[in-house]
A = this chain, B = another copy of it.
Amino acid sequence: MAVSPVLDRQSVTRASRSVGFMALLSRLSAQFRLSQDEVCVLDELGRQTRAHGTRTEIWRGGRASRPRIMVTGWACRQRILGDGRRQIIDFVLPGDAVSDWAQPGSRADASTMALTEVVTADATALVAAATSGDRCHSGLARLLREMAAVETNRLHNQIVRLGRQTAYERMVHLMLEFHSRLQAVGLASEDKFAMPLTQETLADSVGLSVVHVNRTLMQMRRDGLMHLGLGKVKIVDLDLMQAVADWMPTDAEVSPTSSNVRRESLRFDPGAGATA
């Protein structure tokens, strides 16, 4: 293989040093109290990067492939039904896993598609270090477990949105998720962030038609919740949005206000049963 053109090399280098990615690494290092050695493993991620064009498939479900991490750009995990209907399962943002790392050769499932120009990094070393069982890499192991837990939580959110929320609530909730996730990696300010998605993409995520997504967005603007110009989102009334969408705070501890108890008789029964 010949060397890559200079331009590409430069752009990739720039990408791997991107705001979001660097912010993420430093935040992770602090949060998980990673050792010097572990930080080195993370730093190595910047070396093995690769660019992918818009609308290309970054990862195909069912394939055994090396684990990759998102560095720059937007992608989505999706599934296509036999007749062409598409459902976006989850969005993949900088710092997220491109495919599921848990099981190397897991069954055919979803695939991951780039929604913009995308840069990913090879995370083989990271995963290997974390799963080796070495005590000196326990911080990385916790980091991976945390990433998995956060992803599961996102899937739960997506299920609740699609199953029990109205079109309006779904859109607001999704926007709050974007805002929260992008803020976590330093890619969003208090009230603004870039969102390079078409309304069709949004539709395939929230399970609506393109037309109705458009109407819902216009309504949100009229209601003074947020404004949404080409590729940019400006949040106008965050509190109102969180109230509308029944938003659950992500980082802070949740006070047991209206915890998961329902109208019916619901006992918690710590020791209602017999113990053998």
Contacts and interface: CB of A to CB of B under 8 A. Distances in A.
A85 interface: yes
A264 B62 CA distance: 22
A267 interface: yes
A163 interface: yes
Contacts of A50: 273-275
Contact of A79 (B79, B206, B260): B260
Given A250-B107, A259-B60, A275-B48, A87 B159 contact: yes
Given A149-B102, A260-B110, A51 B84 contact: no
A237 interface: no
A49 B160 contact: no
Contacts of A204: 163-164
A207 interface: yes
Task: Tell me which of A4, A84, A205, A260 has the highest count of chain B C-beta atoms within 10 A of its own C-beta.
Answer: A260
A268 B56 contact: yes
A56 B272 contact: yes
Interface residues of A, number: 92
Given A107-B250, A159-B159, A163-B207, A152 B274 contact: no
A155 B159 contact: yes
Interface of A: 4-5, 8-9, 11-13, 16, 46-53, 55-57, 60-62, 78-89, 100, 102-103, 106-111, 113, 119, 132-135, 142, 145-146, 148-149, 152-153, 155-156, 158-160, 162-165, 204-207, 246, 248, 250-251, 253-254, 258-269, 272-276
A155 B158 CA distance: 9
Contacts of A156: 79, 89, 109-110, 155
B160 A159 contact: no
B100 A4 contact: no
Contacts of A82: 246, 258
Given A8-B274, A49-B275, A152-B155, 4 more contacts: A86-B262, A100-B149, A103-B145, A163-B206
B159 A52 contact: no
Contact of A145 (B56, B102, B134, B275): B102
23 contacts: A4-B276, A11-B274, A13-B276, A48-B276, A49-B276, A51-B272, A55-B264, A57-B260, A57-B269, A81-B164, A81-B165, A87-B159, A87-B164, A103-B145, A103-B148, A107-B250, A113-B266, A132-B133, A155-B155, A155-B156, A155-B159, A158-B159, A162-B207
